[in-house]
Structure 1
Amino acid sequence: MARDYYEILGVRRDATQDEIKKAYRRLARELHPDVNPDPETQERFKEVAQAYEVLSNPEKRRMYDMGVDPFARGGAAGGGATGFGAGFPFDDLMNAFFGGSTGTRAARERMRRGRSIKVRVELDLEETAFGVTKDITFPTAVVCNTCQGEGTAQGTHPETCDMCGGRGEVSQVTRSFLGQVMTTRPCPQCAGQGTIIRNPCPDCAGEGRVRERVTRKVQIPAGVEDGTQIQLAGEGEVGPNGGPRGDIFLEIVERPHPIFERRGDDLHCTVTVPMTAAALGATLTIDTLDGPEEIDLRPGTNSGQVITLQSKGCHHLNAPGRGDLHIHVTVETPTRLDEEQEALLRKLAELRGEDRPPGKFSPGQGNFFSRIRDAFGAR
């Protein structure tokens, strides 16, 4: 071989990968065209880049030590006006100048984040008001137990792509009237993965994950309501090839309640009482979320009045305290009276001077109670 890549980098033939990388970085800082634009220096820089590309790749280095130079096969590994091949170590060059990494497509592709999931959770009013621990079941992607997310058949492992050296992308520098132009594209051999799976896992087909229905216990906080969304970060589908999980979004669906209507954190209900109870007053037993509660109905209560029980509504979400319970009173007027009941009401009307309400009926139309009786068919 005409060129000795070890000599070009100034390292021993048994140098470690770390020693090779350090030598390359030192020479790259010294010879890069942006630092030293001399044409001879650019040719020297090209040789350094080629030497590093071969010696930094274990497979290419092994072939080189056996006497095969990848850059001596009619440009098989090279290409482009400057000779920088498809496997040009752009990331390592950026490391040399900026002390960091631009990242590789392989890391981005293989560690894609899993999909987020939306799960509808139906709850009763009592569960949304006070909170509940709930078991939810949903389909999702989980790590394949056969290959543990690696995607390969038992006893095998992913192989580093020999075209991109595991970077997942290949770069090429060409000359144009604007100067040197760097282009980067996904590696065509590994499709940007950085590794190649020769023997895929039979259970997950090389994806490293399978779909299952799972059941998870979740804590629903007090005070949620219909339409509330709860995010469970990192609890969604696992990403391909062991990538990080997505999220779960729980969408709360509150079932209608037979008694209460919810408005925010307040509850509303309607209580129908007889005319006599509204007139004389009474003590009523009302169902609340906390159990039966006695309320006093004051004498002379009219239909439409509202009785409020403070702190008997739903808990505030992420805040102390509760809403109120509003009881709407409806007074029921009797529609059918027997003779005795009619007589008593007539007597009451006479005592109150209400047997003939002024301006309501003209002579010959009958009195107030006869009109009621005729309208409702009282017997």
Structure 2
Amino acid sequence: MAKRDYYEVLEISKSASEDEIKKAYRKMAIKYHPDKNPGDKSAEDKFKEAAEAYEVLSNAQKKAQYDRFGHAGMSGAAGGGGGFNGGGMNMDDIFSQFGDIFGDNNPFGGFFNGGGQQQGRRTRKGSDLRIKLKLNLEEVANGVEKKIKVKRHVTCKPCSGSGAKNGTELQSCQTCGGSGQVRRVQQTMLGQMVTTSTCPTCNGEGKMIKTRCEVCFGEGRVLEEEIIPIKIPAGVAEGMQLSMTGKGNVPPRGGVAGDLLIVIEEEADEVLHRDGTNVVYDLYLNFADAALGTSVEVPTIGGKARITIEAGTQAGKILRLKGKGIKELNGYGVGDELIHVNIWTPKTLSREETEQLEKFRTSPNFQPKPSKSDKNFFEKMKDFFN
């Protein structure tokens, strides 16, 4: 089933402000929250759908990407746990990432969690990694699988990410009592005001390390180089950003790994030029071949093709090779190769060549006589794209 427009999901306009987007998501999250709709699969799906829409529209960069390319532009690289974040989100992802959307007015008690129970602190998410990936025209046209080396923070195995030396226990933070937060009560003219903030002693973790791990030195993570396979779909474009969930950095001492963001860079081809899903080739013919007709070989994406040039071919004529262009991103169509005919005029001539051409200068057949069927260049291009 086709994805619904994210703005439609949250029932907002494209001009909605950041605050309006947040309020719209909060409204949908309350309406379809699992605690409010126990056992309702339809409500759960809408709850996830709203979270996916909010994840994109609340992020300025992802929102710009979505506004430009739609759902096609948000398709992630498959493989390696990849795929665009929202499409692969489970309930734990949503509760951990967007738990603070309700602030102190959580209608489900405590923090926004899966079971509606009090939760001392929300799961942290690690930082994202961003890489640039260069692709040639053939790779863009047909899709490709790449293997790249990425240095990222991963969970320390000896301490399982706790930061504590193997076999030693963590102790509860004495400042916050293990909750990861401290509450302050202030007397104001309007009565008591309660504020909640991250515990400054344990930085919101609720636990303190007695003996640090000798491998990660208490960080709970180490820097490693990893080879990650990335499947790039056919039809990607310059500047498009794909995302692989969970392939970014893990945060210190436990949490959810960030994402790996892949920014596409297209390498310019020496002879073929991209125009959307079409590719354009400039073919240069000498005057004799254009007048008498011939067959020539032209380059295509990943190969060559032989085409026939009819006698009397005019400069500016556009020939089409059907289906020799670029596949549509996540679609079924394929563009064409457009061959733009240019007549090459020699800059220098020998004495014999000059004498031969002088004989034809005044010949009736050499006089320009364009007919109504001989359209100019702009009319020809209009015909091709309409």
TM-score range, shorter chain: 0.5 to 0.7
Alignment of 1:302-317 (within 5 A): 302-317=314-329
Aligned length: 257
- Structure 2 unaligned spans of 5+: 1-108, 369-386
Contact (CA 8 Å) 2:126, 2:250: kept in 1 or not? yes
So what's the TM-score if we normalise by structure 1? Answer: 0.62
Alignment of 1:141-152 (within 5 A): 141-152=153-164
Using the TM superposition, give the Cα deviation of residue 155 of structure 1 relative to its aligned residue in structure 2, in angstroms: 2.1
Matched with 2:234 is 222
Contact (CA 8 Å) 1:121, 1:136: kept in 2 or not? no
Mapped to 2, the partners of 1:229 and 1:212 lie a distance apart of 24
Question: Residue 264 in 1 paired to residue 276 in 2?
Answer: yes
Q: Equivalent residue of 1:241, what SS?
A: coil
Contact (CA 8 Å) 1:112, 1:244: kept in 2 or not? yes
Contact (CA 8 Å) 1:150, 1:157: kept in 2 or not? no
Question: Residue 101 in 1 paired to residue 117 in 2?
Answer: yes
Question: Residue 233 in 1 paired to residue 245 in 2?
Answer: yes
Question: Residue 135 in 1 paired to residue 186 in 2?
Answer: no
The alignment-based identity, stated in percent, is: 37
Using the TM superposition, give the Cα deviation of residue 256 of structure 1 relative to its aligned residue in structure 2, in angstroms: 0.8
Question: Residue 287 in 1 paired to residue 303 in 2?
Answer: no
Using the TM superposition, give the Cα deviation of residue 264 of structure 1 relative to its aligned residue in structure 2, in angstroms: 1.1
Matched with 2:58 is none
Mapped to 1, the partners of 2:262 and 2:223 lie a distance apart of 19
Change (3 A) 1:296 1:199: same
- Structure 1 unaligned spans of 5+: 1-93, 358-379
Question: Residue 199 in 1 paired to residue 211 in 2?
Answer: yes
Mapped to 2, the partners of 1:349 and 1:187 lie a distance apart of 92
Using the TM superposition, give the Cα deviation of residue 161 of structure 1 relative to its aligned residue in structure 2, in angstroms: 2.5
Change (3 A) 1:152 1:301: same
Contact (CA 8 Å) 2:138, 2:302: kept in 1 or not? no
The amino acid that maps onto 1:101 is Q
Mapped to 1, the partners of 2:299 and 2:325 lie a distance apart of 12
Change (3 A) 1:265 1:346: same
Matched with 1:320 is 332
Mapped to 1, the partners of 2:339 and 2:186 lie a distance apart of 81
Contact (CA 8 Å) 1:313, 1:322: kept in 2 or not? yes
Matched with 1:330 is 342
Q: Equivalent residue of 1:122, what SS?
A: strand
So what's the TM-score if we normalise by structure 2? Answer: 0.60
Q: Equivalent residue of 1:344, what SS?
A: helix
Mapped to 1, the partners of 2:269 and 2:366 lie a distance apart of 42
Matched with 1:21 is none
Structure 1 window deviating more from structure 2 (285-294 vs 183-192): it is 183-192
The amino acid that maps onto 1:103 is Q
The amino acid that maps onto 2:212 is P
Using the TM superposition, give the Cα deviation of residue 179 of structure 1 relative to its aligned residue in structure 2, in angstroms: 4.6
Structure 1 window deviating more from structure 2 (234-243 vs 269-278): it is 234-243
Using the TM superposition, give the Cα deviation of residue 272 of structure 1 relative to its aligned residue in structure 2, in angstroms: 0.8
RMSD value over aligned CA atoms?
A: 2.7
Matched with 1:91 is none
The amino acid that maps onto 2:320 is T
Mapped to 2, the partners of 1:247 and 1:269 lie a distance apart of 39
Structure 1 window deviating more from structure 2 (164-173 vs 317-326): it is 164-173
Structure 1 window deviating more from structure 2 (250-259 vs 331-340): it is 331-340
Mapped to 2, the partners of 1:341 and 1:177 lie a distance apart of 102
The amino acid that maps onto 1:335 is K
